């Protein structure tokens, strides 16, 4: 595709003020200074101000999709608003060439009083698309959004998911040169997400796309390159696989916190051990490994259950390992120290960073002896991230079937 960038950002910075009254006063004083022709350093931070973005540079050409990733509060939404012209940078230069279609928090342009059909017409007019051309594409937009039964109802009666579907369908079908997308694939059912994937793939052939998501399988599937932000500062800009590893590394330093329980049995060191017996913070998908946990009993317990829980960064339970059924609960005497080892044949968690919780309890779950909400983290490496958090690793067989009509 064309090597001429449709988006060119150089040393962008943007500051905000935490206090509303001071923010209004700073805005008025800056406006007055600008009218008077006075110059001032826009990056000098006054009381309660902070940099939401600092020294961000990148380019996106036609046919490219830039993945914009980072933790909450990293500056991703601020950058999208800059690209969409909703706010101005305090320093740096930004060039955006062509028609921009945006699906971000403030860029939908949806009027809740108007119907879905009327909102499509308004969005087209804003983008400079002729009424006849919008009418030609109307049915396609409605079908894509799956809103045929509601298109003539006021948008204020739509659910949040329906609004996002309407916004994406409209933005993606009016031939944008640049498409800004913020977490759209987190909304809607599998059918809608599939249509989004296919539509983004079609647009990527002639459009520059900036795509924000916390789902690394979506990023790996769509992004040709990535920009990783941390606290408003760019920490990596380059190939998608390396960017995803950098993103995961932002979550590895999680301090243990949230400890509860009666203290009758206390958990000590929890380690992940590879085949050679070495403790590891990172393991590769598909390898055998062991979980090793040291315990100390302050009182005798006859029915100890050990439960190790793997959670995603979004606090979703991905997997558990415990001895509820096999083997049976453990008996431990007062003052005894134990080392419990759980040998696992294959690590089937998808690549990513997982927060590990450790829970010691009675077999009837009526008593918690020790509960560490975040004991440590484990990084799983491997190939391209996939959907979900767990995938099977079967032995495959491929056979050529006899030529028989009507069997499939």
Q: What angle do CA 237, 239, 244 make, to 5 degrees?
A: 80
Q: In whole angstroms, give the CA distance from residue 364 to residue 366.
A: 5
| Domain end position, chosen among 228, 249, 270 | 249
Residues comprising the chain, all counted: 408
Q: Do the domain assignments include residue 391? A: no
Token output for 224: 């040709």
CATH code of the domain covering residue 350: 2.70.50.60
Residue 407 φ/ψ, nearest 5 degrees: -90, -15
Q: In whole angstroms, give the CA distance from residue 176 to residue 98.
A: 8
The dihedral over CA atoms of 101, 106, 108, 111, expressed in degrees to the nearest 10, equals -150
pLDDT tens by residue, the chain, 408 residues:
557 899 999 999 999 998 888 888 888 888 887 787 766 667 788 888 899 999 999 999 999 999 999 988 899 989 999 998 889 898 999 999 988 877 765 445 678 899 999 999 988 887 778 888 888 889 999 998 889 999 999 999 998 788 888 888 888 888 888 988 887 666 566 777 778 888 888 888 889 999 898 888 788 888 999 999 999 999 999 999 889 888 888 876 555 557 889 999 999 999 999 999 999 999 999 999 999 999 999 999 999 999 999 998 777 899 999 998 777 889 999 999 999 999 999 999 988 889 999 999 998 888 999 999 888 899 898 866 666 778 887 888 888 888 765 555
- Contact 93/59 with Cβ under 8 angstroms? no
Whole-structure pTM value: 0.73
Instruction: Please tell me whether residues 147 and 106 are part of one structural domain.
Output: yes
CATH code of the domain covering residue 200: 3.40.50.300
| Domain end position, chosen among 249, 280, 304 | 249
Give the count of domains, the chain. 2
Q: Do the domain assignments include residue 348? A: yes
Other Cβ atoms less than 10 A from the Cβ of 177: the count is 17
Instruction: Please tell me whether residues 334 and 279 are part of one structural domain.
Output: yes
Residue 327 φ/ψ, nearest 5 degrees: -75, -175
Q: Do the domain assignments include residue 375? A: yes
Q: Do the domain assignments include residue 401? A: no
Instruction: Please tell me whether residues 102 and 205 are part of one structural domain.
Output: yes
Q: Do the domain assignments include residue 408? A: no
Q: What is the pLDDT of residues 32-57, one digit of tens each?
A: 877 877 666 677 888 888 999 999 99
The two beta strands, 225-230 and 65-69, are parallel
Instruction: Please tell me whether residues 160 and 299 are part of one structural domain.
Output: no
Q: Which domain holds residue 233?
A: 5-249
Q: Do the domain assignments include residue 406? A: no
Which candidate, 81, 77, 24, 72, places its Cα nearest to that of 48? 24
Other Cβ atoms less than 10 A from the Cβ of 314: the count is 10
């Amino acid at each position: 595709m064309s090597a001429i960038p449709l988006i060119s950002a150089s040393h962008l910075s943007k500051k905000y003020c935490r206090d509303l009254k001071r923010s209004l006063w700073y805005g008025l004083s800056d406006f007055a200074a600008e009218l008077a022709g006075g110059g001032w350093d826009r990056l000098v931070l006054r009381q309660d101000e902070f940099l939401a973005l600092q020294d961000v540079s990148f380019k996106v050409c036609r046919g490219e999709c830039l993945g914009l990733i980072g933790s909450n509060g990293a500056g991703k939404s601020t950058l999208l608003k800059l690209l969409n012209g909703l706010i101005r940078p305090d320093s740096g230069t930004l060039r955006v060439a062509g028609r921009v279609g945006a699906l971000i928090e403030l860029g939908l342009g949806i009027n809740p009083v108007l119907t879905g059909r009327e909102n499509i017409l308004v969005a087209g007019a804003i983008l400079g698309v002729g009424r006849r051309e919008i009418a030609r594409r109307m049915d396609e937009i409605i079908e894509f959004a799956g809103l045929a039964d509601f298109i003539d109802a006021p948008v204020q009666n739509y659910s949040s998911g329906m609004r996002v579907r309407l916004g994406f369908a409209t933005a993606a079908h009016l031939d944008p040169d640049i498409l800004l997308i913020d977490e759209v694939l987190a909304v809607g059912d599998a059918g809608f997400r599939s249509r989004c994937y296919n539509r983004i793939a079609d647009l990527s052939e002639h459009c520059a796309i900036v795509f924000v998501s916390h789902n690394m399988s979506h990023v790996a599937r769509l992004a040709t390159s990535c920009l990783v932000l941390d606290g408003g500062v760019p920490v990596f800009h380059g190939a998608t696989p390396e960017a995803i590893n950098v993103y995961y590394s932002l979550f590895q330093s999680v301090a243990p916190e949230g400890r509860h329980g009666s203290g009758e049995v206390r958990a000590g060191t929890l380690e992940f051990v590879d085949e050679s017996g070495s403790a590891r913070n990172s393991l590769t998908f598909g390898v055998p490994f062991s979980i090793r946990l040291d315990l100390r009993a302050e009182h005798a317990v006859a029915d100890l259950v050990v439960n190790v829980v793997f959670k995603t960064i979004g606090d979703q339970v991905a997997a558990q390992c415990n001895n509820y059924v096999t083997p049976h609960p453990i008996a431990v005497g007062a003052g005894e120290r134990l080392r419990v080892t759980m040998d696992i044949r294959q690590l089937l968690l998808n690549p990513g960073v997982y927060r590990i919780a450790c829970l010691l309890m009675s077999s009837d779950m009526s008593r918690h002896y020790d509960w560490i909400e975040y004991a440590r983290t484990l990084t799983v490496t491997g190939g391209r991230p996939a959907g979900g958090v767990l995938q099977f690793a079967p032995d495959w067989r491929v056979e050529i079937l006899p030529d028989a009509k009507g069997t499939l």
